[in-house]
Structure 1
Amino acid sequence: MPKAHKYPYILYLAINNKRWNEQQQLELLCVNDKLEYKYKQCSTLTNLRYLNNHTSIRFISPVEPITRCHFADEKCMIEQAHKLFEKAATGVPENDIPALEPLKLDKIEMLGDKNSALKIDLIMNDVEIHNYTKARVTSIKGFSKDLSKPMKLVSQNINPRITIKSKYKINGNILVLPIRGEGELTMVLDNLKTRFSTTLKVEERDGNHFLSGDTIKLETQMDNVHIDMTNLFNGDKTLSESMLQVMNYNWRLLSDDLTPIINEALGNKVKELLLKFFKDIPYEDYFLAD
């Protein structure tokens, strides 16, 4: 019987009838259809990722407490997506995924477009997106048993409120009014509806199939956007309040220009996270055989 270990699903095994001593013991994470079991005897050593020049071996499992679904069971997939959001809020270190609450982006940059309402140069640094993992998934479609061709995956979710915070630097014109400043920016997006779409390709390695993603396209709709910016016009209170009033009254016009820039940066981040999640877990381990 495997002895207890501080990590769930870790076993100490005798391999090829040889009992390894404490320093030689190989740790592996067992794929388990019923993840409520704390331990499970593993009978094979397939799908292993070799680490540290093969001195240790780790068997990658689906993220606890994610369970398998049938391909046609969209309700089950939505339930697992919610579990994954909850888990991802504090991070998934076994898949090298940091805590996503808040979700962090290095920079969002918008250069002035002379044909838009926002004729500005805007740089947002140290961007944090709060409540991103609180989304309610409403649809997941596109996963397939047919691995001979790419899968077109589409997912939709609703988030009651997302807050974006960053450091900012801005210069230009908004609706013919000049604006300049450097300070802290806060954007609150209410009832955000997001549609994710991507094409997933299937790669075969060591007899198993793994997903890899291309670009991820995000499309969003929202009911309201409220913007606050500190230190506009070098802290001039009257000019700052007037400009923020104009911006928030015309939020929809402004968001039409700014939202695609944010969506592109967020899509690149989501792609990065998905590739980390997919790269070690065989596609076969996500779904039950029909």
Structure 2
Amino acid sequence: MQLHKPVAALWWFLLVSSVVQAQDFLQEQPAFFKPCSLKDTNSGPCLSATIENIFQQWRNGVPGLRGVGALDPFRVGKIRIAQRVPPNLDVQVALRNMSTMGLSRAKILNGTTLFNSGHYSLGFHVHLSQIGITCNYKLKGHVLVLNLNSSGILRSELDNLEFYVALKMKPQLVKGLTFMNVTAIKTDIARIDRVRVNLTNLFNGNKELESSANELFNENWRVLFEVLRPVLTQTFDAVLLDRFTKIFNYVPAKFFFADFA
């Protein structure tokens, strides 16, 4: 049977599309991947190098993986924060269109592995020399001595941020291939040297009051950071869990770890 050209073209398109959709995992091991042993206690440097390479080489996104955008800039659509810690803070904050820059320069200071009861645990100590954040904000409540009800643009810079990341994973077999299913993730901010913030439109365009308020925030950044630390950590956990889950479900375990064939 001979197909007319338009029908043949449509048939070919559907065939190719079905093949592409069937390839729902990374087909070839990236050149920058060096499989590390999860059960080797001396594999820390190997694992650290792999994670660093992911941040650098996949800064624009993971090839073939939809649903995970660029790592640098790293974008989050919406974050909500509600925190009440008298007397310094009682606020509701909505952040939209957040863009975080600098993650591709992450340095992994060390990595650790642990195997227990069928689960693997990975730990990383991450250092970021500087992070820049830009987003739209909407804020209502009081911060320090200021009563605020405003919306505008928030810009922030963080210097020398260090944090620990712990992942708990379990191997799972999918279509004859082993993947690592991330079951839990926990972050802990260990160090930050300085935070600078600037919020626009704090007092309906009164630049003098706006400047004074931003100066107050920057003089007391450590107080505000410690108050917001639990909420920021929970947000960080949720975002990283989403990203790492998608990556490990897409990349066969054998590309990451020498323990799997």
Scaled by the length of structure 1, the TM-score of the pair is 0.74
Which structure's residues are more often helix, by fraction? 2
Q: Which residue of 2 is the match for residue 62 of structure 1?
A: 29
For residues 288 and 181 of structure 1, do their structure 2 counterparts lie closer, same or farther at Cα, with a shift above 3 Å needed?
A: same
Provide the residue aligned with 2:165 in structure 1: 196
Call closer, same or farther: CA 1:233–1:209 in 2, change over 3 Å. same
Task: Please name the residue that 1:140 is paired with.
Answer: 111
Structure 2: how far apart are the matches of 1:279 and 1:162?
A: 28
Q: CA deviation at 1:129?
A: 0.8
Matches within 5 A, 1:20-39: none
Give the superposition deviation at 1:62: 3.1
* CA–CA distance in structure 1, aligned partners of residues 168 and 234 of structure 2: 16
- Of 232, 253, 257, 1:283 maps to 253
1:151 maps onto 2:123 in alignment: no
| Structure 1 residues 209-224: aligned runs within 5 Å | 209-220=178-189, 221-224=191-194
CA distance in 1, matches of 2:52, 2:21: 36
1:90 positional shift:
1.5
Distance 1:100 1:198 in 2: 18
Greater shift after overlay, 132-141 or 255-264?
255-264
Could you say if the C-alpha distance between residues 163 and 193 of structure 1 is closer, same or farther in structure 2, counting changes exceeding 3 Å? same
Contact 1:61/1:281 (8 A) holds in 2: no
Q: Sequence identity of aligned pairs in percent?
A: 24
1:189 maps to a residue whose letter is L
Provide the rounded CA distance (Å) in 1 between the counterparts of 2:167 and 2:227: 23
Gaps of 5+ in 1: 1-22, 28-50
Which ranges of structure 2 fall in alignment gaps of 5 or more residues? 1-11
Structure 1 residues 5-39: Cα deviation after superposition (integer angstroms, max 9, x where no partner): xxxxxxxxxxxxxxxxxx69x99xxxxxxxxxxxx
Please tell me whether residue 124 in structure 1 is matched to residue 114 in structure 2. Answer: no
For residue 250 of structure 2, give the secondary structure of its aligned residue in structure 1.
coil
**CA deviation profile, 1:30-82 (whole Å, cap 9, x unmatched):** xxxxxxxxxxxxxxxxxxxxx82799667623334212234432212222222
For 2:82, which of 111, 132, 138 is the aligned residue?
111
Equivalent-residue separation in structure 2 for 1:196 and 1:55 (angstroms): 33
Q: CA deviation at 1:206?
A: 4.2
1:70-129, CA deviations, whole angstroms, 9 ceiling, x for partnerless residues? 443221222222211111211112233321111011112112415362211111111111
How many pairs align?
Answer: 242
| Counterpart Cα distance in 1 of 2:150 and 2:169 | 42
Distance 1:199 1:56 in 2: 28
Q: Aligned pair 1:266/2:236, yes or no?
A: yes
Alignment correspondent of 1:8: none
Cα deviation for residue 164 of structure 1 reads 1.2
